[in-house]
C-alpha cells in the first residue's frame, strides 16, 4: 500500500452527508509527495457531500522536523492547522491542490494534506534561545558577516553595540 493511499478518495462513491478519513503520516508521506519536510502527523479529512458538491476540511496536528534558520540543525516544530475547500464533480481539477484521475474520478488529496501542514509552519523555524548548535551558528555567523539577522539594522542593536564598546573601554581603562 502506498503511503498516500488513504488520501485517494473516490468522490463519486461517497454517500450523501459526512465522511471521515483519518491517517497517521510520517517522513515517507513527505517523500511520496516530493517534499523534504519531515515529521509525524495525525491527519483527518472531513468530507461533506451535498449532491455533486463536496466541502473538504483537512486537519493536521503533529510535529514537523525542519532545519533551524540559525544553525541548520534539525528542530522539532509543533504544527496544528486546518484548511477547508470545496470540490464539485462537475468541475474536478479546478483546485490545484487536488489531482484527479480523469478515468476513475479518484481524487488525490495528499497534496492538500501537505499544503495544510506547510501553511501551518511558522515563518521562522528556530531553536529556543540557547538551543542552537553553537559550532554551526559560529560558522554561519562568520560567513554571513553581520551577526543576528533582523537585529542588524535595528537602532537598538546599534545602541547596544555602542554601550558595550563604552563598557569595554571603561574596563580597559581601569585594568
Least separation in angstroms between residue 141's CB and Zn ion is 12
* Interaction between residue 68 and Zn ion (CB under 5 A): yes
Least separation in angstroms between residue 103's CB and Zn ion is 48
CA-wise closest residue to 38 among 59, 62, 5: 62
Q: Between residues 21 and 73, which has the closer beta carbon with respect to Zn ion?
A: 73
Q: Between residues 50 and 139, which has the closer beta carbon with respect to Zn ion?
A: 139
Contacts (Cβ under 8 Å, ≥6 apart) of 37 = 30, 64, 65, 66, 114, 117, 118
Q: Between residues 11 and 64, which has the closer beta carbon with respect to Zn ion?
A: 64
Q: How far apart are CA 3 and CA 164, in angstroms?
A: 55
Least separation in angstroms between residue 146's CB and Zn ion is 18
Name residue, grid cell 451535498. 50
Per CB under 5 A, the segment of 64-72, 86-94, 112-120, 167-175 that binds Zn ion is 64-72
Least separation in angstroms between residue 49's CB and Zn ion is 45
CB 44 within 8 A of CB 25: no
* Interaction between residue 70 and Zn ion (CB under 5 A): yes
* Interaction between residue 71 and Zn ion (CB under 5 A): yes
Q: Which of 74, 127, 141, 157 binds Zn ion (CB under 5 A)?
A: 127
Give the per-residue SS3 of 66-135. EECCCCCCEEEEEEEEEEEEEEEHHHCCCCCCCEEECCCCEEECHHHHHHHHHHCCCCCCCCCCCCCCHH
Q: Between residues 33 and 126, which has the closer beta carbon with respect to Zn ion?
A: 126
Please give the residue ranges that form the binding site for Zn ion (CB under 5 A): 68, 70-71, 127, 132
Amino acid at each position: 500500500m502506498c503511503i498516500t493511499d488513504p488520501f485517494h478518495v473516490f468522490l463519486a462513491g461517497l454517500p450523501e452527508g459526512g465522511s471521515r478519513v483519518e491517517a497517521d503520516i510520517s517522513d515517507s508521506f513527505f517523500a511520496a509527495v516530493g517534499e523534504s519536510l519531515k515529521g509525524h502527523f495525525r491527519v483527518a479529512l472531513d468530507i461533506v457531500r451535498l449532491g455533486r458538491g463536496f466541502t473538504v476540511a483537512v486537519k493536521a496536528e503533529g510535529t514537523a522536523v525542519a532545519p533551524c534558520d540559525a544553525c541548520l540543525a534539525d528542530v522539532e516544530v509543533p504544527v496544528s492547522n486546518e484548511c477547508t475547500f470545496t470540490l464539485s464533480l462537475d468541475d474536478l481539477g479546478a483546485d490545484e491542490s487536488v489531482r484527479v484521475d480523469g478515468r476513475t474520478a479518484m481524487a488525490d488529496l495528499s497534496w492538500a494534506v501537505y499544503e495544510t501542514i506547510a501553511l501551518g509552519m511558522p515563518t521562522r523555524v528556530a531553536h529556543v534561545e540557547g538551543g542552537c548548535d553553537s559550532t554551526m551558528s559560529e560558522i554561519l555567523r562568520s560567513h554571513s558577516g553581520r551577526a543576528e539577522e533582523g537585529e542588524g539594522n535595528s537602532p537598538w542593536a546599534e545602541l547596544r553595540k555602542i554601550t558595550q564598546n563604552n563598557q569595554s573601554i571603561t574596563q580597559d581603562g581601569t585594568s
